[in-house]
Amino acid sequence: MSQVYPRVALIGLGLIASSMFWAMKRRGVAGHVTGYARSAQTRDTARRIGLCDTVCDSAAEAVRDADLVVLCVPVGAMGVVAAEIGPHLKPGCTVTDVGSVKKTVIEAVAPHLPEGVQFVPGHPLAGTEHSGPESGFASLFDNRWCLLVPVEGTDPQAVETLTTYWQALGANVEVMDAEHHDLVLAVTSHTPHLIAYTMVGVADDLRRVTDSEVIKYSAAGFRDFTRIAASDPTMWRDVFLNNKEATLEILGRFTEELFALQRAIRTGDGDHLHAYFTRTRAIRRGIIEAGQDTDAPDFGRAKTER
Amino acid sequence: MSQVYPRVALIGLGLIASSMFWAMKRRGVAGHVTGYARSAQTRDTARRIGLCDTVCDSAAEAVRDADLVVLCVPVGAMGVVAAEIGPHLKPGCTVTDVGSVKKTVIEAVAPHLPEGVQFVPGHPLAGTEHSGPESGFASLFDNRWCLLVPVEGTDPQAVETLTTYWQALGANVEVMDAEHHDLVLAVTSHTPHLIAYTMVGVADDLRRVTDSEVIKYSAAGFRDFTRIAASDPTMWRDVFLNNKEATLEILGRFTEELFALQRAIRTGDGDHLHAYFTRTRAIRRGIIEAGQDTDAPDFGRAKTER
């Protein structure tokens, strides 16, 4: 695989940025990669583990001469970072981000970018419940989707090159508009996370069932929720504050449906429950056929030899 | 490992019963195992794959001379099965079950058992999203919990032998009362399942986001819900109809918390969200330390080499 960008700058060095770095190294996707993180401790860690070819002590220094700048900070910090790097960007370079919300990120970042710089917002749909510079790995994006959300007036060539870049990192790329992105993610990610956080919070809070009981007996279903609810709190706070509208819409639909099922339980309407539970099986089948999950029982946690 | 029961009968031949059979064979826990399933197709499958030493064509025949009878049918079918086998049980034998609800199962089963038969209700907290006679495997219960819920007047020796049996199948055993069991399971299993079913139903139902989008972009969190929501519909219908009170109590707490978080999103209260999301991380840590899940990112779906 040949080089896509001679120089890439990663701003923010968490799970996504560190995975991008190892994925770039795996196939020689970039000539030279600089990195910057606000915390000195994170920069030290990055230097220690060889994350980035050069770790810089300022964002301005990191983006100098970069052909691609990737904003890998929480959604709520994007505007501040854009203001910081704006004056130091190389003319004609591409700026992208990896934020889970697109409308508010575009509003926060675009005004700070000088003319001639190409802004192509992006969102790789990949992650784990771990965070920080040491949690990254090269295959995180393999066969995952990366959504690009170009703004009006962007040079199609810049979008095309960024597409090639993400494909070289292992991802499949799709283009959609910001508003639709935010709604789709409210369904597939943001609302599920909020619900998982809520369920884990309830379990933790209950006086009549102890935490140690919840922990011991979690294999009955609960532990899948706890994995999601172990994700980075700052990232998720920012997601909900910045995708308020779509999340509240899906939450509204969710509680409506939940109340209908709750009513079926209360009135003993077994047919309603059975029909509902049968319908949801088909979606699972679709996800497995689309290669987005394993069919192995329990996500392959189970060793199924007889 | 030496034999715990000379003869064991499995009534119902789904995921749990078939896993019990392979786990018994793994360590010689039983001398001879009979099996019965209501469906002729399931019995044929069982014979074909060597599930059970003898597959019988009636429950009465299967339980004859058995020292341990295990009811492995959906919770709603327990009473009917108990009535069927009651007159054919060997005096002094032990009857247990594997139902996810205990109070109503005890009410349904106990009246049908003749005096001298020991009834020790049980519930192994293990399973996968797959069902049927071909989905079982020997290690399903390894390091999982099995809860025993003895009824008043049970011979302690019967409880002790059943404990030894489950330990020989790989499980850890704990004893608790039926009411507490049903509440604990409402938290760790029943409510999480209902919520997962609901979220998957909402996604399927939404006009503005297509099913193919939901499926493609599920890796962002949603797919963990779909695994849970792919579980057996009949089993789960019966669970909710039979653990109505506790499930509705926990659902009430859940919606209360969800509304508080929803309000925090609407009013932009980032501190509330951040504090909530930080608290839930600790529970995940506890589950991993208790050996009830893997710390590998994404349940080990991710290959994390650099």
Q: In this complex, do A277 and B140 lie within 8 Å of one another by their Cβ atoms?
A: no
Task: Kindly state the tokens that stand for A204.
Answer: 């933790």
- Asked if B223 has any chain A CB less than 8 Å from its own CB, the reply is yes
Q: A205, A198, A200: which is closest to B259 by C-alpha?
A: A198
CB A79 within 8 A of CB A52: no
Q: What pLDDT shows up at residue B207? A: 76
Q: Which phi and psi (to 5°) does residue B76 adopt?
A: -70, -15
Q: What pLDDT shows up at residue A298? A: 64
N- to C-terminal Cα separation, chain B: 43
How many helices (H) and strands (E) in chain B?
Answer: 13, 9
Task: Name which of A241, A273, A299 is nearest B299 (Cβ-Cβ).
Answer: A299
Q: What pLDDT shows up at residue A1? A: 58
Where does the pLDDT of residue A72 fall: very low under 50, low under 70, confident under 90, or very high at 90 and above? very high
Which one has a higher pLDDT value, A50 or A281? A50
Which one has a higher pLDDT value, A223 or A245? A245
Q: Which part of chain A has CATH 3.40.50.720?
A: 5-176
Distance from CA of B56 to the nearest CA of A (A): 22
CB B122 within 8 A of CB B146: yes
| pLDDT exceeds cutoff 80 at A265 | yes
Q: Which residues pair with A118 in a beta bridge?
A: A94
| pLDDT exceeds cutoff 90 at A249 | yes
Q: What pLDDT shows up at residue A305? A: 56
Task: Name which of B140, B209, B240 is nearest A265 (Cβ-Cβ).
Answer: B240
B 142-161 → A contacts, CB under 8 A = 144-145, 147
Instruction: Give the strands of the sheet with B145-148, arranged side by side.
Output: B122-124, B145-148, B172-175
- Asked if A273 has any chain B CB less than 8 Å from its own CB, the reply is yes
- Asked if B20 has any chain A CB less than 8 Å from its own CB, the reply is no
- Secondary-structure percent of chain A, ordered helix, strand, coil, rounded to 5: 55, 10, 30
Pairing of strands B5-11, B68-71: parallel
Q: What pLDDT shows up at residue B297? A: 67
Instruction: Give the strands of the sheet with A5-11, arranged side by side.
Output: A54-55, A30-36, A5-11, A68-71, A94-97, A118-119
For A262, nearest residue in chain B (alpha carbons): B248
N- to C-terminal Cα separation, chain A: 43
CB B93 within 8 A of CB B118: yes
| pLDDT exceeds cutoff 60 at A21 | yes
| pLDDT exceeds cutoff 70 at A53 | yes
Q: Which residues pair with A5 in a beta bridge?
A: A30
Q: Which part of chain A has CATH 1.10.3660.10?
A: 180-294
Which one has a higher pLDDT value, A31 or A128? A31
Q: How far is CA B168 from CA A107, B96, B164, B191, in A?
A: 61, 16, 6, 31
| pLDDT exceeds cutoff 60 at A30 | yes
**CA angle in degrees (0–180, nearest 5) for B299-B98-B164:** 90
Q: What is the pLDDT of residues A81-130, one digit of tens each?
A: 999 999 999 999 999 999 999 999 999 999 999 999 999 999 999 888 88
| pLDDT exceeds cutoff 70 at A301 | no
Q: In this complex, do A22 and B306 lie within 8 Å of one another by their Cβ atoms?
A: yes
Other Cβ atoms within 10 Å of A56 Cβ, number: 18
Task: Kindly state the tokens that stand for A44.
Answer: 């030290």
Listed in sequence order, the residues at least 6 apart from A296 whose beta carbon sits closer than 8 Å to its beta carbon are: A302, A304
Q: In this complex, do A188 and B199 lie within 8 Å of one another by their Cβ atoms?
A: no
Regions in chain B scoring below 50 on pLDDT: none
Q: In this complex, do B287 and A240 lie within 8 Å of one another by their Cβ atoms?
A: no
Other Cβ atoms within 10 Å of B221 Cβ, number: 25
| pLDDT exceeds cutoff 60 at A25 | yes
Q: What pLDDT shows up at residue A306? A: 56
Give the distance, in angstroms, between the CA of residue B235 and the centroid of all CA atoms in the same chain: 9
Q: What is the pLDDT of residues A139-186, one digit of tens each?
A: 999 999 999 999 999 999 999 999 999 999 999 999 999 999 999 999
Q: B221, B73, B126, B294: which is closest to A225 by C-alpha?
A: B221
Class in CATH terms, B180-294: mainly alpha
Tokens 């001298």, located at residue: B116
CATH fold for the domain made of B5-176: Rossmann fold (3.40.50)
Residue B29 CA to residue B6 CA, distance in Å, equals: 8
Residue B292 CA to residue A225 CA, distance in Å, equals: 13
Residue B122 CA to residue B86 CA, distance in Å, equals: 18
Q: What is the mean predicted confidence (pLDDT) over A33-55?
A: 98
Q: What is the pLDDT of residues A175-197, one digit of tens each?
A: 999 999 999 999 999 999 999 99
Listed in sequence order, the residues at least 6 apart from B252 whose beta carbon sits closer than 8 Å to its beta carbon are: none
Distance from CA of B98 to the nearest CA of A (A): 13
- A260-287 burial, b at 16+ Cβ within 10 Å, e below that, comes to ebbebbeeebbebbbebbebbbebbebb
